[in-house]
Structure 1
Amino acid sequence: MKDKIHELINDSISVKQQLLKDTSLMQTIETVVGVITDAFKAGNKVLFCGNGGSAADAQHLAAEFSGRFYKNRKALPAEALHCNTSYLTAVANDYSFDVIYARLLDGIGVKGDVILGFSTSGNSTNIIKAFEVAREMGIVTIGLTGTTGGNIKPLSDYLFNVPSTTTPRIQESHILLGHIICELVEEQVFATPSP
């Protein structure tokens, strides 16, 4: 069993080492930090969506903005779209699970908002439909996927496609990338002006 544990930890480290060497990914992080910072400063909101473990990651990162990360500061307008279970079950039942995020985004999203969609395969239909609506509304789309980007790739203004096909390794990297973004955005939005 110890060998298996070592193997799993090494797999996780290996994926993160690949991220560290990816200069394009580093630039995308910087750009996305700027995009989200600008959205918050303009009074817009940042929305998150995912399914299963990715929904948990989406909710976690939304809370880092709306609660706090490191600083005691004003709450930032961020929300995970799956948290209203009455809405979620009604729309899934009355329409389709495929439109749960697209329909809510159409109701509460506005031009200049940002949506982050988490899908390890990049092929989650409800995320794809949300990104299609986002594109129509002028909402910035940020996809977090696995190695290929899947069908979310062409709908993403910015894409983080983690170099793995293994769901747990992808999700571990998504939360790492999300934490980096949250920390840097918080620093930028609440930077103390120079005297």
Structure 2
Amino acid sequence: MQTHPHLERDIRDHLTNQANLTQALLDSEQVGKALALAANLCLNAVRGGHALWFVGNGISAVDAQRMAALVMTKGMACAVPVRAFALATDGAMVTALANDHGVSSMFTWQIKSVCKPGDVLLAFSSSGNSPNVVEGLRLGKIIGMASIGFMGAKPGEMARWCDACLHVPSAHSSLVQDAHVTLGRVLATLLMDALKSGGSLSH
């Protein structure tokens, strides 16, 4: 069966855009430094017995879930246990909080209840301005959590509350979200390698 030439062109264009964005991340000194800082924040927290918490909305919630699962399962091979949790996984909890207290505070209620000083909050938002994610980061900072933000080209409100900001230089949310998955995997690999070797990360 032959494919339409326009479809083939669209496929090539999309893959080219992804490849170009990956190259831009590879060439970005800011992204490299932010990844190193993020990996150190997570490593220090895990070695100190603290937990990693992941948060996002929509597709970013899926990305947060995926990374929490990746870190938790890969961490089983490490001498130091890795505790990683996503705040959007419990549908009943999230919808109840959004219904009773408003969408903008549906993560803050969970953070108040379960997060501790020294934990790390990893937040995903392609816009960098998701109100409930921003509120979660703000509260996390107040209670003494470290914070890592996965965002798009524009820093948005999230950047005010993040210790490490992973900016993806694209205005297209789908490409930004794809890049967040890539950056998340790199971050998880850096963390797991350091935990397995017992070494440290320099930046």
Same fold, TM-score > 0.5, yes or no: yes
* 1:20 matches 2:30: no
Q: Deviations over 1:99-154 (max 9, x none)?
A: 11111011111111000110000110000000110110110111111101111111
Match of 2:187 among 178, 181, 190: 181
Give the root-mean-square deviation of aligned CA atoms. Answer: 1.4
Q: Distance in 1 between matches of 2:15 and 2:143?
A: 42
User: What is aligned with 2:114?
Assistant: 108
Q: Distance in 1 between matches of 2:36 and 2:161?
A: 20
Match of 1:60 among 44, 49, 66: 66
- Amino acid of the residue matched to residue 175 of structure 2? R
User: What is aligned with 1:129?
Assistant: 135
* 1:72 CA drift (Å): 3.2
User: What is aligned with 2:156?
Assistant: 150
CA contact (8 A) 2:25 2:31 kept: yes
- Helix, strand or coil for the counterpart of 2:170? coil
Whichever of the two has the greater Rg, that structure is: 2
* 1:77 matches 2:99: no
Give the 3 Å change call, closer, same or farther, for CA 78–34 of structure 1 in structure 2: same
- Amino acid of the residue matched to residue 61 of structure 1? M
- Helix, strand or coil for the counterpart of 2:150? strand
- Helix, strand or coil for the counterpart of 2:12? helix
- Amino acid of the residue matched to residue 86 of structure 1? A
- Helix, strand or coil for the counterpart of 2:106? helix
Runs of 4+ in 1 over 2 A off after TM superposition: 71-75
Q: Deviations over 1:75-96 (max 9, x none)?
A: 5100000111221111111111
Identity of paired residues, percent?
Answer: 26
TM-score calculated relative to the size of structure 2: 0.90
User: What is aligned with 2:4?
Assistant: none
- Amino acid of the residue matched to residue 190 of structure 2? L
* 1:189 CA drift (Å): 1.3
User: What is aligned with 2:173?
Assistant: 167
Match of 1:86 among 81, 85, 92: 92
* 1:73 CA drift (Å): 3.9
TM-score calculated relative to the size of structure 1: 0.94
Q: Distance in 2 between matches of 1:112 and 1:17?
A: 34
